[in-house]
Amino acid sequence: MAKKQKKEQIFRIGVILAEKEIKKGDFAKAMGVNEGTVSEWINHKVYPHPSRYRKIAEVLNVNMQEILIKTSPKS
């Protein structure tokens, strides 16, 4: 059951990057991760560790809730 709940949590990182016109590479550098990791976050293949949420919000200059809001997964 826990696995299913994890899949339901969708992060809006990709949407926010697009809205703010921030390049994936620039975001990755600011986060101290590689661009592939950011791609996996955006494509919902893996999720950032909760300890990174605050930094993600700071780098994107958004409220932490904006990155954690539930949305529908891609079909």
Run means of pLDDT, 10 residues per run, the chain, 75 residues: 46 91 97 96 90 95 83 50
pLDDT attached to residue 8: 45
Q: In the CATH scheme, what is the code of domain 2-68?
A: 1.10.260.40
- Total-model pTM: 0.76
pLDDT attached to residue 4: 42
| Average pLDDT value over all residues in the chain | 83
DSSP, res 62:
S
Query: How far is Cα 10 from Cα 32, in angstroms, rounded to an integer?
Result: 22
pLDDT attached to residue 10: 63
Q: Which two tokens stand for residue 1?
A: 């059951």
Q: Which two tokens stand for residue 3?
A: 């696995």
pLDDT attached to residue 65: 86
